[in-house]
């Protein structure tokens, strides 16, 4: 059988240096991936909050809609709209 002899200290240093550099690169990549995952999670939480707010606003608008049998004009912006009278819809007459 072939037995390997341990490398001498002069041969081991370049190997250890290369190994240490590789470990450093992998550690940096893992840290970058971890940071990216944290950022994505924060963005998702923010987007979920925005979606929830939008759903509440939509629900508020929908709750203000008149019933289907109600013939009044829709006022979704909350502004006061004077009621229309049938005589207002006709052309002005000149006598």
Do the domain assignments include residue 8?
A: no
Do the domain assignments include residue 80?
A: no
- The whole-model pTM stands at 0.49
Do the domain assignments include residue 4?
A: no
- The whole-number average pLDDT for the span 56-81 is 74
Which range marks the domain in which residue 41 is found?
22-62
Do the domain assignments include residue 41?
A: yes
Do the domain assignments include residue 28?
A: yes
Do the beta carbons of residue 64 and residue 76 sit within 8 Å?
yes
Kindly report, residue by residue over 22-54, the tens digit of the pLDDT. 999 999 999 999 999 999 999 999 999 999 999
Do the domain assignments include residue 17?
A: no
**First-to-final CA distance of the chain:** 125
Q: How many domains does the chain have?
A: 1
């Amino acid at each position: 059988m072939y037995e390997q002899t341990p490398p001498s200290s002069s041969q081991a240093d370049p190997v250890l240096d290369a190994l240490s550099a590789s470990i450093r690169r992998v550690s940096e990549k893992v840290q970058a991936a971890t940071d990216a995952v944290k950022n994505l999670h924060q963005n998702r939480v923010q987007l979920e909050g925005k979606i929830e707010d939008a759903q509440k606003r939509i629900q508020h608008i929908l709750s203000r809609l008149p019933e289907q049998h109600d013939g009044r004009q829709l006022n979704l912006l909350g502004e006061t709209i004077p009621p229309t009278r049938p005589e207002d819809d006709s052309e002005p007459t000149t006598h």
